[in-house]
A = this chain, B = another copy of it.
Amino acid sequence: MARTAGSHSETTGPRVQEAALRLFARQGFAAVSMRQIAAEVGVQAGALYNYTPDKQSLLFDLMRGHMDALLAERAARGAGGDAVSRLEEFTRFHIRFHLARPDAVFVSYMELRNLSPENFAVIEGLRRSYEDELEGILRDGVAAGQFDVADTKIATLAVIAMLTGVTTWYREAGRLSVTEVETIYWDMVRKAVAA
């Protein structure tokens, strides 16, 4: 299929997103210029506006894409089993998912304040619904006498903070595999909420 010279819409769009994600993660949204993103992609700055109406939308689309992927993967998993096994599955999933996309995690946690108020509300809602799943597991476990936590909401946030923290130190070239890291954190989570 012949194509007009200089036309690369099928590849440039994703490349803009990838370049923006990588640069936002390393330098922060506000510190990255559209020219810098364009240079990374290999086009001129003006060409970026074929793929995003503005810089804010670029950030929002990255964050929404990340949250959508997170929730889609959760929805694809059965919620069967007792609270303990569901908590283990959630813990291992959270670590595996987050370690697989460190740039998206970094941007999603650090750039919330650079979202417009409307965009912030959307991302905040998605984040909340992810937390709600974990809180549901903890609540069920407390009701079943398997867990003992003073406050399920605080325990939810404490567990997520602990698990997400893994992204600040884990390196692929390090001494531990992802599965080993999952096991170490699951051991701490299990004990922290145990009855």
Interface residues of A (CB under 8 A from B): 26-31, 110, 113-114, 149-151, 154-155, 157-162, 164-166, 168-169, 181, 183-185, 187-189, 191-194
Contacts and interface: CB of A to CB of B under 8 A. Distances in A.
A105 to B, nearest CB: 13
B169 A157 contact: yes
28 contacts: A26-B113, A27-B30, A27-B113, A28-B28, A28-B29, A28-B113, A28-B114, A29-B30, A30-B31, A110-B110, A149-B188, A150-B183, A150-B184, A150-B187, A151-B184, A154-B184, A157-B168, A158-B162, A158-B165, A158-B166, A161-B162, A162-B162, A165-B165, A188-B193, A189-B192, A191-B191, A191-B193, A191-B194
Given A28-B29, A30-B30, A161-B161, 9 more contacts: A28-B28, A149-B188, A150-B184, A154-B185, A160-B165, A161-B168, A165-B165, A188-B193, A189-B192
A168 B127 CA distance: 13
Contacts of A155: 188
Nearest to A181: B154
Nearest to A187: B150
A123 to B, nearest CB: 14
Contacts of A26: 113
Nearest to A154: B184
Contacts of A151: 184
Contacts of A164: 161
Contact of A157 (B27, B150, B160, B165): B165
